[in-house]
Structures are given as structure tokens and as C-alpha cells.
Chains A and B, each alone.
Chain A
Amino acid sequence: MSNKYIALPKGISEKTFDSAIADFRSVLGDAAVFTSAQQLAPYIKTMMPVPDLDHAPSAALMATTVEEIQKIVGICNRYKVPIWTISTGKNLGYGSAAPVERGQVVLDLKRMNRILEVDKDLAYALVEPGVTYKQLYDYIAEHKLGLWLSMPAPSAIAGPVGNTLDRGVGYTPYGEHFLFACGMEVVLANGEVLRTGMGSMPNSNTWQVFKWGYGPYLDGIFTQSNYGIVTKFGFWLMPAPPAFKPFVIQYENEEDIVEIVEIIRPLRISGVIPNAVVIAHALYEAPVKARRSDYVTGPGSIPDAAVRKLAKDHHLGIWNVYAALYGTQEQIDLNWKIVTQAFGKSGKAKILTEREVGDDPAFKYRAALMRGDMTLQEFSLYNWRGGGGSMWFAPVSQARGSETLKQMALTKEILAKYGLDYSGEFIVGMRDMHHIVDVLYDKTDPGQVKAAYQCFDELLTIFSAQGYGIYRVNTAFMDKVAETYGPVQRQVHKTLKKALDPNGILAPGKSGIR
């Protein structure tokens, strides 16, 4: 064990690491290389049910230029020191800013934060990794560009590069973020700089308007991967629509998810409802309005009767469908008719708009997300259990009512075994639904930490046995999820890794790839 460092990269001696650090300092300067426990504190805290020290970095580097990054990978290759790249570093519930393996050096690109270009006519942006949604939002407002962002719920403090590279989601019609990515610049492990798609061609001005370029499409292999360090990222923005109508449709029973999904699917596929819809369970919305301790005390998950009472007290449905219409007023009026007719048929749905619930805190933050406005209201989730423990359980489901009900029931049953609540929602898809469940627990309570770990492990085991794959996972469970996709995919990932990063210096272990 080293005294000088809080951790060392796997298989690297303190002496070798000294040399690597000295070289990093000569490139970046002393102030941009952190090694002390105090400096590294903000890179260590995670929300996962494993000791934070299991994911403690050995150092953190703050690079601001492509050239510095090229030199850093040169040093990493020389000493076989692995780096873990973050952009805005707010991957909360998926591993935060900490590396997948103890001892990796964090390459923090937050300071590389220039907005390189926003084109109003073609509605795209080209940004560096450290740009936050808030920075871009303010820039667009200041320059009156009339463009909307799509962002995840941590909006203000997260950023488009890290979010999209991890294939994150938002809530506008551009909510499936990687679908709207267009062109990347990537520093490869050998120090070369690749511009994907049209960006590879000298003098091309179509890098941010045509995704595919020529030959195999490469952008995908730089998402959820460790094949390169993305230093510039292009993506499309939505022109602000002339009118916007958010709404919520409430249902009173868990089984109603079948009807909801059956109604929504054709409306989504045909584009009548254009945005990434959310079907949120009462327990996902409750923390914005209610305290758990008002409804249940002692161990165990919250009983159904208490959830029903809570929903009633706080004007929530057991399911709450948040969606919006975008376009001219005429388009919205027409589509609103189609939506209300479809949901009105069974008599079970309660359809509410800004007029009825404009001041409701849950509706307000959902409406903000659906038009790409900043809000961190969803962090209320952490007041439900307290203690700062959270993992996103994120299986993919068909957008078919029977399937969503089955996944919900199965998740709830497994969570209950461990005394945890079903804080779940279904989001995004036309043909798929990302089933997103916040596995909330108190990280200061060793009993809950243990239960949360075992529960998450069981969720992954049971779901994969039923053929339900996970779209994204925290760093403590990446190998386990990689395993569920079978040996052939794993081998292909490995083959690519060997070819592009033979020394394994880029984030070994990300998505189970080494």
C-alpha cells in the first residue's frame, strides 16, 4: 500500500506511478494534477452500495486541449497507466465521477468547456466535453437562437457529451439523445485524432448535418465504450415550436399500465405524440410532494394501501403519464383531439393540463423537462429514503402493455423481498420503453447497503434469465451486465479493444470491456 497516494493503478508500482505523475505534471502543470486525498475527495463519492474506496482514483488530471490529451495518452502508454475519462462527471446513480476500477486516473474534461458553434439555421451545436446544459441553454438564450435542448433530469449540472456518450435520455421529441448526435472528434489511444463521419474529410462543412460519412459508421463504438476520448461532439437541436402543450394523464391502478402503453404506442409511432413520454409510478412522483415517514415506519417496503392513500392525498395517479404536443396551435388542437379521444374511451383516464395542474410541483418540473428547461426537482427522490444511496435499474421493455406490466410486477416483487420500494417509470420509446427504477436505499445504514447490493444483483440475474436486457448500469455491475449479452458480443468488444487500445489504457472495465 502506498503512503503517497490514496490508491495505485492495478499492477503499477509507486515508483512507476511517480514517474507517470511527474510526466503528467510537466504537460499540465502542478495545479491540474491532483493526488492528495483532499483534492480527490469530489471524485470518490458514489451512490453505489459498495465501499467508495473500491472505486477511488489514484489521481485526477484536468486537461483543456486536444494536444494535452494526446500527450497524456502517450504517457499512459509508456507506463501502462489506465485513465477514466469524464466530461461533466455527474453520472449520478451510474458511478458518479469515480472510475470503474480502483486506482485508475480520472481524466476530467470539465474545463474543456467551449461552445464551438451553434448554427441557428441548421439547428445543431458543436461543443467540448465540459459544456453543461445550463451553459448551452444560457448561450442560446443570450444569442436568441430559438433552439431547444433535450436533457436528462440533472439538467443544469450535467452535459450533452457525457450524457450522450453513456446513451442517456431526455424528455423532448429529441429525447433519445444518441439518435440526434452528429459527428465526434475522438483522441484514440495511439494519440491520433479521428473525426467521425463527414468530419474525416478536409474542408467538409457537413460534419454536423450528415451522420454516416462513408464506410462503416463509427460513432456508435465510442458510446458506452472505452475505445477513445471524445473531445468534440456535434448534435442536433430542436427549433423552438410556436406552441407547446404539456399534459398529464392519471390512472388509478397498477394494471392500467397495459391500457396506457397500448394507447400510447400507436400515438408515438405515428408521431401524434412526438416526445419521450414518461409513465411514472406514484412512488416516483411522491417525493416531490410527500414524506415517506408520513405513510410508513419501520423496515420493509411501503405497502400498496399506503401508496394508494398517498396518491389520493397528493393528487397523484398510481400511474402518471407525462407527454406534450409541439407545433403550431392548429396542429396541437388537432392532435389534442386525437389524444383525448384515445384516452377518453375506457373512462379510466383523468386528463389534466396546465390549466388544472399548472401549479402542481410534479407537473411543473415534468413540463420543464419536456421543453428543455432547467430543473433539479427530480433530486427529491433522495429525500424518500435519505442517506444518499441510489442505483438506476434500467431494463429495456417492448412498448407492449402486457410486457410493461410483467416487468413492473417482477421488479416490485424482487424489491419487496429486500424491503425496498418500487420507484419506477417507463420512458422514451416508440417501440421500446426504458424501464427506469431508482433503487433507493440509505447508504449510511449497513443493513440497507447489503440489501440494496443483493437486490440489484438479483434483479439483473432474474431479468436477464427472462431475456430482459439492461441498457446502462453503474460501475459496480458492468461486468455482470456485459456477461448477460453473451460471449460473442463480449469477444467482439474485446477484439476491438485490442485493436484500438492494445495497452488497455482507456477505462479498462467500462461496460465490462478490457
Chain B
Amino acid sequence: MRKTKPMRTATVLMLSISVAASVMADMARAATETNADKGFRWRDGAEVYSKVCSYCHQGQVGPRLFGRELPPEYIRAIVRNGSRAMPPFRPSEIDDESLAKLAEYIQRN
């Protein structure tokens, strides 16, 4: 099969969503989803750096971060608050644990 389906939606889709039953059916659907694949998670600091930071900080847009031994607390503060034109990043985007790994990764490189 060439189709890719990370989640099993078949049972879900078979639920009736007639008007009267819709709320209940949706509750059931939601319950199924809770147990399904949890979605995206960061692997490590290097992945966050390459998939977010590097586009600006490895190019000519923002300042270079490597080789400056930037303190992790400083990196964490800038990521969460933003700085001038740099947008802040929320824990929903980069969770605290991944941010700690990112800060450590940047400091190390």
C-alpha cells in the first residue's frame, strides 16, 4: 500500500455523527485518539538546533551562536522571551527538557 496512515482511523471514521449522536460519537472518537500515536517529539538539542535555530543563526539572518560559550540560562531566556525581531518559542514548541538540551548543545559547540 502506498498510502501512509500513522493512525488507525478506521474505527473512528465508522462512528456515526448524526446530529443527535454527534457529541457522544465525538467523545468516543476523542477517546480513541488519546491512545493513538502521540505525535512529534524532539530527539535532542542538535535536532532542535538544526530544525529551528539554524535557519537564521547558521545563515546570515541572526548572530552566530556557536563558539561563544553562551551560558545556558541566557539561551533559555532568549528562546522564551525572544529578542528584538527574534520571535519567542513556547514550551509547546520546544519543551523545557528539549530547551535545556538545546542550550547545552549550543554551549558545547
Contacts and interface: CB of A to CB of B under 8 A. Distances in A.
A383 interface: yes
A118 B31 CA distance: 23
A191 interface: yes
Contacts of A374: 55
A112 interface: yes
Contacts of A120: 2-4
Contacts of B82: 42, 45, 388
B75 to A, nearest CB: 14
B37 A114 contact: yes
A203 B13 contact: yes
Nearest to B92: A110
A117 interface: yes
A123 to B, nearest CB: 11
B99 to A, nearest CB: 11
Contacts of A376: 55-56, 59, 61
B84 to A, nearest CB: 4
A128 B15 CA distance: 19
B89 A134 contact: no
B88 A45 contact: yes
A42 B80 contact: yes
Contacts of B40: 113-114, 130-131, 135
Contacts, number: 159
A324 to B, nearest CB: 21
A114 B22 CA distance: 23
B93 A110 contact: yes
Given A42-B88, A43-B90, A90-B87, A193 B4 contact: no
B84 A387 contact: yes
Contacts of B55: 156-157, 374-377
A192 B59 CA distance: 46
Given A62-B92, A65-B30, A70-B26, A128 B39 contact: yes
A482 to B, nearest CB: 26
Q: Which bracket fits the contact residues of B?
A: 35 or more
Given A113-B39, A387-B84, A66 B29 contact: yes
A383 B82 CA distance: 15
Contacts of A130: 39-40, 92
Contact of A383 (B26, B36, B61): B61
A355 B2 CA distance: 36
A295 interface: no
Interface string A90-126: 1010001100000000001011111111111100000
Nearest to A142: B4
Interface residues of A, number: 69
Contacts of A38: 80
A43 to B, nearest CB: 7
B26 A193 contact: yes
B34 interface: yes
Interface centre among B26, B37, B84, B87 (most CB of A within 10 A): B87
28 contacts: A42-B80, A42-B82, A68-B30, A110-B90, A111-B39, A113-B39, A114-B39, A114-B40, A115-B6, A118-B4, A119-B4, A120-B4, A121-B3, A130-B92, A131-B40, A156-B52, A191-B23, A202-B15, A202-B16, A203-B13, A374-B55, A376-B55, A377-B59, A380-B60, A380-B61, A386-B85, A387-B84, A443-B84
Interface of B: 2-7, 9, 13-18, 22-23, 26-27, 29-31, 33-34, 36-40, 51-52, 55-56, 59-62, 80-93
Among all A-B residue pairs, the 10 with the closest Cβ atoms: A67-B30, A382-B85, A42-B88, A110-B92, A376-B55, A388-B84, A193-B26, A388-B85, A114-B39, A66-B30
